[in-house]
Amino acid sequence: MLIFKRGHTHINQDDLSEYLDGRLSGTAAARIDLRLTECASCRRDLDALRSTVSLLQQMPELTLPRSFIMPGPPPAPVALRPPAPLRMPQWVYSGAAATAALVFAILVSADATGLLAPKLTAQPEVTAQALRAAPESFQQEDRDGAARAIEMAAPQAPVVNEAISAEKGLNIAVTREAEVAEAEAVAPTLRQAAVPPQTAAKVEAPADTSASAPVAAMATTEVKEVATSEVARPQPEAAMSALAVEEGVKAKSVPLTPEVAMAAAKADESAKMKADSTPSIIALTTPQRPPEPTTVAQDSPRGIPPPYNPINIWRVLEGLAAVTAVGFLVVWILRRRAGR
Amino acid sequence: MVSTAEVLNCTTHEPLPVQDRSGATHCYNCIIESMQIQAYNLARRMLEDWSLAEDAAQESFVSGYRAFHQFRGNNLKAWVMRIVANTCKDMLRSRRARPTVPLDPISSDPDDPTAPPSAVDLPSSEESPEAYAEREELARIIQSGLASLPEEQRLAVLLVDVQGMDYEEAAATMHCSLGTVKSRLSRGRGRMKDYLRNTGELLPDLFRQEV
């Protein structure tokens, strides 16, 4: 009871302050008057507040150091500030730097994960070297080399790997092998001049068996197609012949199901990654071929889109983003220093 | 164009005609003359720093001159003091952003004529040195107590208790509601009360008894 009474009936600070200034209405003031007669603590509070206010009111008025009377109209405000674009708040600079850095990071990570891959090309010098080195090594160990290439390439193709784990044990590979063999038979002239048939079979076969599914098999075929076309770019004739060879295979094997097209699209990406990361492997799988009539690829009903985009626009954008980020960062730091 | 000599009957200073929103002509120097002590005092109590306070008063009057066409013609004091308060707030803000070594307004050297004036300024002739010293000490403590208040509470206490404004005028100056003035004032007073209780030495007996 006592606690409730004490806690409940103390006059709050706002009321006391207003009471002191005589700004409370009659009833409110009367309530406080009553409370003050009952509560010594409230009385002390009021006295202390009154003394405080009294001290404040007695604060001496300071004399002016000088008169502020103006001799005439003050001059118009002088534009001491630099032009507006340079006077943007600090966060604009830091924000711009952060945004540019973010764009740069996104571009780089997209690049690294292969999202921008269709626009990326293999390093020409590396590829040329690999192509030059390819024939000898291929002749020496064409079977082993091809097998190794497939071995090394397989883990890098997620589509294929998924297919391996998902469809292990299915026997569709047999059908695929037959198809591939048929495809090769359809393009004998091209094969003659290009890969030794048994090598090509080797190249196709392990991939097919490991894939064990039409979609996955198609993917590997596509992988090699695109890889071939990418690697062979520095040497147009070789590229054309490569296209011709693969066209022969493709012409037969493509029209399977609609989902093949999707698989091909997926495979394109992984092929790009390989084209970038392991040019020597690709070189091994694409031995030197003699020149072929350039019309073959164009005549083909399902021609591979020719490689294009010699200038890599994404890399240029990455560079621009990096330069922008660094530039804004420098400006921001300089302005922070100047601001101190 | 209104002839200033006719409209403004100024004798002590150069007439400086300005027009308010309604088109009425005033002499701005008359306004300065009537307001400058209050303006400077408010700036000085808000900022502590005497040289900053002088700048603030000067800047406020210049801003007021340029913005006078917006003045509606009522409550000139609140209008001018609002400009001063805003200028002081801006200065406090920029001082917070760029802290400098403060010029201590309290440690004024009586032997040094270039020293800044103290919080009480010149002693009046009829006052004993002891009384003056005590009064100055008290003013110093109150000034540090004010400085310890949050900006808005300090402004409310200065306007109502030091400058003697009523709540309505203070609300117009602070550009806030009456209730806000009440609560800022009461909280500022409460803090001042606690501050004066905790410092004690030269304060009235009341505070010493309560400690």
Residue A334 lies inside a defined structural domain of this protein: no
For residue A114, is pLDDT > 80? no
Provide the pLDDT for residue A205. 41
For residue B33, is pLDDT > 70? yes
Residue percentage of chain B with pLDDT more than 90: 47
Select from A16, A31, A56 the last residue of a domain: A56
List chain B residues with CB under 8 Å of A80: none
| Residue A16 sits in the same domain as residue A150 | no
User: What's the total number of domains in chain A?
Assistant: 2
Provide the pLDDT for residue A208. 42
Residue A324 lies inside a defined structural domain of this protein: no
Fold of the CATH domain B12-101: Rna Polymerase Sigma Factor; Chain: A (1.10.1740)
Q: Give the pLDDT band of residue A332 (cuts 50, 70, 90).
A: confident
- pLDDT tens for each residue of A17-30: 999 999 888 899 99
CA atoms within 13 A on the CB side of A88: 11
Note whether B189 contacts A52, CB cutoff 8 Å: yes
Per-residue DSSP letter, A114: T
Comparing CB atoms, the residue among A23, A63, A68 nearest residue B57 is A68
Comparing CB atoms, the residue among A17, A51, A61 nearest residue B204 is A51
Quote the minimal CA–CA distance from A107 to chain B in Å.
37
Q: Give the pLDDT band of residue A295 (cuts 50, 70, 90).
A: very low
- pLDDT tens for each residue of B43-61: 999 997 888 899 999 999 9
**CB of B208 closer than 8 Å to CB of B198:** no
**CB of A181 closer than 8 Å to CB of A201:** yes
| Residue A46 sits in the same domain as residue A158 | no
List chain A residues with CB under 8 Å of B39: 68
List chain A residues with CB under 8 Å of B57: 68
Residue A186 lies inside a defined structural domain of this protein: yes
Note whether B32 contacts A61, CB cutoff 8 Å: no
Write out the residues of chain A at the interface with chain B, using a CB-CB cutoff of 8 A.
13-14, 16-18, 21, 23, 44, 47-49, 51-53, 55-57, 59-74, 77, 339-340
Give me the mean pLDDT over the B173-202 stretch.
88
Quote the minimal CA–CA distance from B33 to chain A in Å.
7
| Residue A156 sits in the same domain as residue A22 | no
From the list A330, A337, A331, A329, the residue with the least C-alpha distance to A99 is A329
Residue A93 lies inside a defined structural domain of this protein: no
**CB of B180 closer than 8 Å to CB of A14:** no
List chain B residues with CB under 8 Å of A73: 16, 65
**CB of A219 closer than 8 Å to CB of A266:** yes
Give me the mean pLDDT over the A6-15 stretch.
73
Q: Give the pLDDT band of residue B161 (cuts 50, 70, 90).
A: very high
List chain A residues with CB under 8 Å of B121: 60, 62-63
* CB-based burial, A23-59: b 16+ in 10 Å, e otherwise: ebeeeeeebbeebbeebeebeebbebbebbbebbeeb
Residue A120 lies inside a defined structural domain of this protein: yes
| Residue A142 sits in the same domain as residue A262 | yes
| Residue A82 three-state SS | coil
Residues with Cβ within 8 Å of B138's Cβ and at least 6 positions away in sequence, in order, are A55, B202, B203
Residue A131 lies inside a defined structural domain of this protein: yes
For residue B194, is pLDDT > 60? yes
**CB of A224 closer than 8 Å to CB of A285:** yes
**Out of A148-152, B89-93, B180-184, which region has the weakest mean confidence (pLDDT)?**
A148-152
Please state, rounded to an integer, the average pLDDT across all residues of chain A.
62
Whole-angstrom CA distances from A90 to A101, A185, A233, A331, B90 are 17, 70, 49, 10, 18
Give me the mean pLDDT over the A66-91 stretch.
74
Q: Give the pLDDT band of residue B83 (cuts 50, 70, 90).
A: very high
Residues with Cβ within 8 Å of A169's Cβ and at least 6 positions away in sequence, in order, are A212
Domain range for A252:
111-309
CATH class of B126-204: mainly alpha
List chain B residues with CB under 8 Å of A72: 14, 16
Q: Give the pLDDT band of residue A53 (cuts 50, 70, 90).
A: very high
Provide the pLDDT for residue A310. 46
From the list A300, A225, A291, the residue with the least C-alpha distance to A263 is A225
For residue A260, is pLDDT > 70? no
Domain spans, chain B: 12-101, 126-204
Comparing CB atoms, the residue among B139, B187, B190 nearest residue A60 is B139
Q: Give the pLDDT band of residue A313 (cuts 50, 70, 90).
A: confident
CA-CA distance, B21 to B18, in Å (whole number)?
10
Provide the pLDDT for residue A204. 43
Per-residue DSSP letter, B15: -
For residue B183, is pLDDT > 70? yes
| Residue A281 sits in the same domain as residue A147 | yes
**CB of A249 closer than 8 Å to CB of A197:** no
| Residue A46 sits in the same domain as residue A127 | no
Residue A142 lies inside a defined structural domain of this protein: yes
Quote the minimal CA–CA distance from A40 to chain B in Å.
12
List chain A residues with CB under 8 Å of B203: 55
Residue A249 lies inside a defined structural domain of this protein: yes
| Residue A230 sits in the same domain as residue A125 | yes
Quote the minimal CA–CA distance from B26 to chain A in Å.
13
Residue of B nearest to A338 (CA): B98
| Residue A43 sits in the same domain as residue A125 | no
Residues with Cβ within 8 Å of A91's Cβ and at least 6 positions away in sequence, in order, are none
For residue A293, is pLDDT > 80? no
Q: Tell me the two tokens of residue A72.
A: 């005439």
Which segment, A50-54, A130-134, B113-117, is predicted with the most confidence on average? A50-54
